[in-house]
Amino acid sequence: MDPAETHDIFVSYAHADNGVALGASSPVGWVSALAANLNEGPGVLRKRIFIDHQLKPGDEFSGELLTRVERSRLLVLLLSQNYLDSKWCGDELQHFVHTHGGDPEKPADVFVVEIFPFDAFTAVPPIIGALRKRLIHAKFWYQPVNSASPVLAGYPSPKDSGHKVAAHYWSVLNELRVAIDSRLRSLRAAAPVVDAAAAKAGLPTSEPEAA
């Protein structure tokens, strides 16, 4: 990994939450679609988004991912029971908080996407509890009227989830995207990313426009 490379967003998620359902109209999983949609929409800020299926063959899984966590400005956390059950997901979160100088009791720059009701989770670690009290930014689960079970808005794709649930998905996605873009604009203004090659050549540097 280039020492100068920085990501705007690291997507921290359980792989079990990103499967492609048989019969779905989307060729990608729910998490992959959400990550892509953070870079779409009127007035959107173009962001470098890292999600771990972008790793190349031969990349060292643990060391490479932790380096990318450390060099990301924001962490977007997909909160589910699968996430809580994953030791690796917990390591990503702890590493982000530690390397960004954050107090575990007051974590910053972590955007939480809740994909199932929090009250249904078990074995929730203290840092997740602290995040939920301070930083919940998006609740994508939806409780239909006269239904005993909640549904994940936009699953398996917005097109497949019905008009009302799809409307919920796009509304929450927009709120999340606006919050992320606002924070990134503040961070970029405070500490713009430097293109090492351009700086060495004496050329002007600028932010990337694509993930």
Length of the chain: 211
Q: Identify the burial level of 140 via C-beta atoms within 10 angstroms of its C-beta, where 0-12 means exposed, 13-18 middle and 19 or more buried.
A: buried
Q: What is the pLDDT of residue 35?
A: 97
pLDDT digits (tens, 9 = 90+) for 101-156: 766 666 679 999 999 999 999 999 988 888 777 767 799 998 988 888 999 999 99
| Angle, alpha carbons 66-45-196 (nearest 5°) | 55
pLDDT digits (tens, 9 = 90+) for 77-115: 999 999 999 988 888 998 998 898 766 666 679 999 999
Q: Between these two residues, 133 and 3, which has the higher pLDDT value?
A: 133
Q: What is the mean pLDDT of residues 180-199?
A: 73
Residue with tokens 């398996």: 156
Q: What is the mean pLDDT of residues 186-204?
A: 59
Q: What is the pLDDT of residue 196?
A: 44
Q: What is the pLDDT of residue 108?
A: 75
Q: What is the pLDDT of residue 51?
A: 92
Q: What is the mean pLDDT of residues 145-172?
A: 92
Q: Between these two residues, 211 and 30, which has the higher pLDDT value?
A: 30
Tally Cβ neighbours within 10 Å of residue 169: 22
Residue 204 pLDDT > 50? no
Nearest Cα residue to 137 out of 188, 170, 173? 173
What percentage of the chain reaches a pLDDT higher than 70? Answer: 81
Q: What is the pLDDT of residue 61?
A: 57
User: What pTM, to 2 d.p., does this model score?
Assistant: 0.84
Residue 11's H or E segment, with its range, is strand 7-12
Q: Between these two residues, 2 and 157, which has the higher pLDDT value?
A: 157
pLDDT digits (tens, 9 = 90+) for 9-63: 999 999 999 999 999 999 999 999 999 999 999 999 999 999 987 555 554 557 8
